[in-house]
Structure 1
Amino acid sequence: MSEKENFLTIKENGSHEIIIKKSKFIASLARTRTVDEANEFIQKISKQHHDATHNTYAYTIGLNDDQVKASDNGEPSGTAGIPELKALQLMNLKNVTVVVTRYFGGIKLGAGGLIRAYSNSVTQGVEHIGVVKRVLQQELIFSVPYNRFDEIDHFIKQNKVFVSDTQYGVNVTIKVFLDEDDLNDFKDKIINLLSGQVEFSKGEKRYNEIPIEDNNFHEH
């Protein structure tokens, strides 16, 4: 499956605040699929924090970072927007806009301090909100006898396979979603466990959002 179809993004829209040397930095993050959506979000947050010292921002739109933009909004050139954009890109996030609002606390941070503050504000904001992997997956449907269900259920949980539905009839019908690449391997293992006594059918294809638990986004 091409990487284009699978990508990381934030779990939901949200914000997170950190204080550095009495300055308040608020990272507001949103999922945005177009430049218009990004601009709308930037305007909304800038309006919300119209009394702030700075409302800096960065966005990356498209699965190959097709459209990116960064703004320092009056901070020294290169100390805010670009570090924010780099933070998003280091975490491999797609279709995300961040506005980092600063309320100046009276202590100057210097260029290096500002770069770290704006970058950390984004990283900590993302970790606070959470990250999901949007994956195009295929639904697979199969039935197992009741006396084999616990064994199959254990195998599914152990392999962290996403179960969309379990129906209890004459047998137990299980519906799971898998990456296209993992279908055959999963089928083979189930066939082995059930000594061949199983038939599969395919359901729908859809994007599922799988939470990334470890904050180690570079590995995904």
Structure 2
Amino acid sequence: MDQGNYYQTIEASGQAEFKDRGSRFIAIAYPLKDADDFKKILAAVKKEHPKANHHCFAYRLGTDGNTFRVSDAGEPSGTAGRPILGQIDSRQVTNVLVVVVRYFGGTLLGVPGLINAYKSAAAMALQVTPVVRKPVLKTCHLQFDYTQLNEVMNVIKQFDCTIIKQELQLFCVMDIGIPKHRFTESLMRFGDIRNLVLTEPAVISN
């Protein structure tokens, strides 16, 4: 996974279908925020395809390459989840979930056939889904007086920062994501704002 200033992901879902000897493999690629988001999406897919024999999936989250999950969902071990994840990685995308729904067609495909089917379905779904490039963000926590809000917002706009959450009262608190490649200069600008307190948590990617 690229440890640089940008990462690749998708912003919309895409779907494709692969058929082999009567079995249908419907693959859907989704942008993914977190593990809770995954649970909701998988539940929705199962509701939409209640008669499918298998709901296999793989996802990858974050820019460090360490957060992923695969499931063969009843298929022979290693024939579904890993091939799906392999396609996510070959597209070099993250924050992506691919679910492949299988309707069994009556003929056993064998291990090589299953690997090929899940790999092909996932690849086709990712091919029809546009990839977007986004900056890696570093989160910061800001505390400042309400009278300084305009100054703070000016810096946020200037450096294309993302507001993750905020509480705007007489005393304001705000969590923001700063593009990694503009981090040092933005900290200098925030440092020019009198009495603003800034603390740095971890690197994120949303």
TM-score w.r.t. length of structure 2: 0.63
**Cα offset, 1:98, TM superposition:** 1.0
CA distance in 1, matches of 2:44, 2:61: 18
Is 1:133 equivalent to 2:133 in the alignment?
yes
- Counterpart contact for 1:33–1:62, Cα < 8 Å: no
* Aligned twin of 1:14: 14
1:83-162 equivalences in 2 (<5 Å): 83-135=83-135
One-letter amino acid of the structure 2 residue matched with residue 78 of structure 1? G
Which deviates more, 66-75 or 127-136?
Answer: 127-136
The yes-or-no answer on 1:76 pairing with 2:76 is: yes
CA separation in 1, counterparts of 2:61 and 2:28?
Answer: 16
Who is 1:38 aligned against?
38
Contact 2:9/2:93 (8 A) holds in 1:
yes
Structure-1 residue corresponding to 2:160: 206
2:12 is paired with a residue whose SS is: coil
**1:28 touches 1:45 (CA, 8 Å); kept in 2?**
no
Return the index of the structure with the highest Cα Rg.
1
Identical aligned residues as a percent: 34
Q: Distance in 2 between matches of 1:30 and 1:46?
A: 15
Q: Which runs of 5+ in 1 are unaligned?
A: 137-202, 208-220
Q: Distance in 1 between matches of 2:49 and 2:24?
A: 12
Find the residue that maps to 1:206 and give its secondary structure. Answer: coil
Once the two structures are TM-superposed, the CA of residue 65 in structure 1 deviates from its matched residue by 2.4
TM-align CA RMSD = 2.2
Paired positions, count: 142
Task: Please give the TM-score of this superposition, normalised by the length of structure 1.
Answer: 0.59
Q: Which residue of 1 aligns with 2:67?
A: 67
In 2, the alpha carbon distance for the partners of 1:206 and 1:100 equals 36
Shift, 1:59, TM fit: 0.8
Deviation at 1:11, TM superposition (A): 4.2
